[in-house]
Amino acid sequence: MTVVYLIPAVAIAAWLVWRLIMGSGATVDCAALEAELKGSNPPVLVDVRTESEFKGGHIPGAINVPLDRLGEIIVSAGPRDSDIVVYCHSGMRSGNAQKKLAGMGYSRVRNLRGGIAGWRGKVVR
């Protein structure tokens, strides 16, 4: 394979991996979320990592609903038209959570781009 064919193939592969990680739903970046959390009507913030990851540090105000227990969010997040932001470490699990929640009828779910790994705000334990 020549370099002429290799470069586009690598670019396409990188794009596919990025789409897999980020999903196809709505996202929010860390700076925008930080501003929203300080506002008068902040979104419901859902950390879909494991309980031990959550205890190791999470964004203030987040509730922990691990991805494998996502069905329990009906009690935690409120009405299905609630503004919800999901996050994990990097964005992959929360992308899956976003898709699951959409399938459960939640219409306003966004994924935190870059997950908590990209978060520069306060973290609580």
User: Which residues does the annotation mark as catalytic?
Assistant: 88
The three-state secondary structure class of 41 is: coil
Q: Where do runs of H (alpha helix) occur along the chain?
A: 3-22, 30-38, 51-55, 73-77, 92-103
Q: Determine the longest span between alpha carbons in the chain, in angstroms.
A: 57
What is the C-alpha separation between 49 and 42, in angstroms, rounded?
A: 21
Instruction: Calculate the CA 30 to chain-centre distance.
Output: 11
Residue 14 near residue 36, CB atoms below 8 Å: no
